[in-house]
Amino acid sequence: MLIVPEREIANLMTREAAFNAVEKVFAAMAAGDAYNFPVVREAIGHEDALYGFKGGFDQAGLTLGLKAGGYWPHNLEKRELINHQSTVFLFDPDTGKAKAMVGGNLLTALRTAAASSVSIKHLARKDAKVIGMIGAGHQATFQLRAALEQRSFEKVIGWNYHPEMLPNIEKVANEAGVAFEAVELDGMIGADVTISITSAFAPSLMANHVAPGTHVACMGTDTKGKQEVESALLAKASVFTDEVAQSISIGEAQHAVTEGLIKESDVAQLGAVINGTNPGRTSDDQITLFDGTGVGLQDLAVAASVVDLAVEKGIAIEVDF
């Protein structure tokens, strides 16, 4: 079995490689060549932690495995560790033998950012100039860096429940040579693309905060009960997702479906847009919304890429198992 430790990931996986891996696996999912297993996600009753498993099988890429991990909300303050902790395990689909164990923390950040970035590429207006950020935590910096590569953005506007964290994303904007402005939530009406990346259980972004023609990427809702945007926004938008089953059960669409504002059939796979079987955006005044729930196949795709690179560079550690 091969081991690729967390410390090696930053030197192996680029944003471009993560983007390509995620775009490819979304397309495979929509084509029926890859599928995710049901998600297990539980509050373990210790350290307020959420722990779970996401897995799947990509028959096209012959990638089989799972990601184990979750969210420990007190890690940063107590232990100076990031709150999200995970490890990816890959298995040989021909034999079931354990193939690789890969540090999953940075990979999770990169693949989550890649997913919203893929949605911007395929759904946002080509002339989008202003990007709005709701959330300014660790993951928000990854989201913004990846998003800024998809359009010629001229300005970043940002809001966070804790305004003192906004310099995190302001720094990213400055590094990219893009202007930054802190706004109230109603100021998001000025965004052409809005990314919401919070762990909220009550909506921040309301339907009247979103102008016609905007693309919204909701990236924080991955558990039953979480909610980042008002359900009425999904009723106004063309809704796309990584996986429909997750979107309506643990993703942003769960609330709009429960309230009867949209139906399961109103939610489309982003992979179908990538494959050309769904037209995606059809007008400049259409609101598009991507519900990024985070699927196991994303993790497996980026982990498999990392293992190949680690072997190529002689970094992978081989152990008997």
Q: Is 67 a residue of the active site?
A: yes
Helix (H) or strand (E) holding 291: strand 288-291
In the DSSP assignment, the letter for residue 11 is: T
Backbone angles phi, psi at 196, to 5 degrees: -110, 120
Give yes or no for a contact between 172 and 147, defined as CB atoms under 8 angstroms apart. Answer: no
Instruction: Please identify which of the residues 24, 67, 99, 226 carries the catalytic annotation.
Output: 67
Identify the H or E element spanning 56: strand 50-58
Please name the amino acid found at residue 258.
T
Helices in the chain by DSSP H: which ranges? 6-9, 15-30, 75-79, 105-123, 138-147, 167-175, 231-236, 244-249, 253-258, 270-275, 296-312
Q: What share of the chain is helix, strand, coil (3-state, %, to 5)?
A: 35, 25, 35
Q: Which residues are catalytic?
A: 67
